[in-house]
Chains A and B, each alone.
Chain A
């Protein structure tokens, strides 16, 4: 089964200052958003899942086996991670070699790697930039290149660290499609986000991190109801929910359609 089990996970970069303080989570097939304040430990957590860092205490089990007992190369076939800063990930001098690098690295042959790279670049609509140097593109385009690089590896688990960063409306729509498409293929998707509207609309489950702990975890609809908890984690409710609250509506509203429908009924009655 495609699950990750996290037991009593602790981590610190430097002795004496703890970043994660005992996280227990089971990550499964539901599309999952991780939200939380700057410095809460979100990026650190996903680097641990990917085996780029090792727990100071506790364990991470993937397919029932401790991530410590996998080699980085074998985990790479199963877990793809899109970094928060695309500049940390991109180092080739043209787009196509950049996106082919990961697939080649996990053992795809040249033809397969090229095929997967081009199909991933199509998904982010950058397949007309194959020979461009990534550093002659804007930051938002570089972010899309880094996403395509991971999609091309076709891993069972795909983790995105702030994919909506710097993306415009069309970019976010593209991401939505990519995420739903991965979900339909039965992949495990985890996504760190600061965009509450996007998290509420797209993800089934939301986990709130706060100072190295899990403060809330559940269906997105339930989590985004809890104004006090969100406030404590330096978050906000989705903007639609905020309007519904201002108006004192019962129930909870996450999308434009839900709120418009409810208000239409109220105003005619």
Chain B
């Protein structure tokens, strides 16, 4: 059984004429890590909203088709019910902040308190997520007295602490330093081992190539491709969708070097280095 099923999803924001999502269908199995790629305004954030119920419950507008998350049809359930299964990290971390808490610690505790998580369990989860995002040292700071990257880390930690079955992250590393970005990809990959399903919109193609199980390519609200990184990134028409191939793929193509394991162009730095290394 798939944990996410999207069937012929269409959506249009109020007072606009263009479909932001146009007849999208795909299925995701539990524990998969799906990367969502596409140019700016392709519809990535809107798809994240549709999977978490903000579309159509918070953003109205025209809606067609069906979305199931963990067996619930999104349109038939309130956002609060869906939130028990799906966590969303917003594109702008500022939107994630409650604006009612005085410390980072309370900010992260807020969601857990709401869920009624028992005290000891709460402390364990708080410590764990502060540690995973490397923000223990700022836990007593006011959430609005943080640097941009620190706030983004807090936003991610507050959703991860809730351990949703389905975790949706909308460009979660946009303000993180390079090592912080790498860490987030590792943390998320580890969550899939606990059976958590990941949907992550990202522009960092090199990282998705390394970590994602599948990549969904979106353009003008349409799902163009949904396949392994190796297959999607070896498409010759990527530039038509505003995407540059991973560094490894660009070099592989220029030199005519394929990955002997997939018989497609390499997508990771490791793979391209191995293949070229064999030829030098």
Whether A162 and B148, one on each chain, are in contact in the complex, defined by CB atoms closer than 8 angstroms, is: yes
Whether B148 and A139, one on each chain, are in contact in the complex, defined by CB atoms closer than 8 angstroms, is: no
Shortest distance from the beta carbon of B265 to any chain A beta carbon, whole Å: 14
Interface string of A188-225 (1 = CB under 8 A from B): 00000010110000000000000000000000000000
Whether A260 and B255, one on each chain, are in contact in the complex, defined by CB atoms closer than 8 angstroms, is: yes
Shortest distance from the beta carbon of A215 to any chain B beta carbon, whole Å: 13
Q: Which single residue of chain A is at the shortest CB-CB distance from B248?
A: A243
Stretch at the interface among B100-108, B119-127, B185-193, B271-279: B271-279
Does A1 reach chain B (CB closer than 8 Å)? no
CA separation between A266 and B255, bound complex, in Å?
12
Prevailing SS type, chain A contact patch: helix
Contact with A263, one of B38, B149, B251 (Cβ below 8 angstroms):
B251
Instruction: Write out the residue numbers on chain B whose beta carbons fall within 8 Å of the beta carbon of A235.
Output: 177-179
Contact with A234, one of B92, B178, B242, B254 (Cβ below 8 angstroms):
B178
- State which residues 116-151 of B face A: CB under 8 Å: 138, 145-150
Does A25 reach chain B (CB closer than 8 Å)? no
CA separation between A263 and B279, bound complex, in Å?
10
Instruction: Write out the residue numbers on chain B whose beta carbons fall within 8 Å of the beta carbon of A140.
Output: 40-41
Chain A CB within 10 A, most for which of B149, B171, B206: B149
Does B214 reach chain A (CB closer than 8 Å)? no
Contact with A39, one of B45, B149, B254, B272 (Cβ below 8 angstroms):
B149
Range of interface residues on A (Cβ < 8 Å)? 35 or more
Q: Which single residue of chain A is at the shortest CB-CB distance from B45?
A: A138
Interface string of B188-206 (1 = CB under 8 A from A): 0000000000000001001
Contact with B177, one of A37, A165, A166, A259 (Cβ below 8 angstroms):
A37
Shortest distance from the beta carbon of B146 to any chain A beta carbon, whole Å: 8
Shortest distance from the beta carbon of A193 to any chain B beta carbon, whole Å: 10
Does A59 reach chain B (CB closer than 8 Å)? no
Shortest distance from the beta carbon of A79 to any chain B beta carbon, whole Å: 20
- State which residues 149-168 of B face A: CB under 8 Å: 149-150, 153
Chain A CB within 10 A, most for which of B41, B150, B177, B182: B177
Does B83 reach chain A (CB closer than 8 Å)? no
Given the interface pairs A38-B180, A242-B269, the reply to whether A168 lies near B279 with Cβ below 8 Å is no
A residues near B (Cβ < 8 Å) are 13, 36-39, 43, 84-85, 87, 138-141, 162, 165-171, 194, 196-197, 231, 233-236, 239-240, 242-243, 246-247, 256, 259-260, 263-264, 266-267
| 10 tightest Cβ-Cβ pairs between the two chains A and B | A38-B149, A246-B273, A236-B178, A239-B247, A234-B179, A140-B40, A37-B177, A168-B39, A234-B177, A84-B148
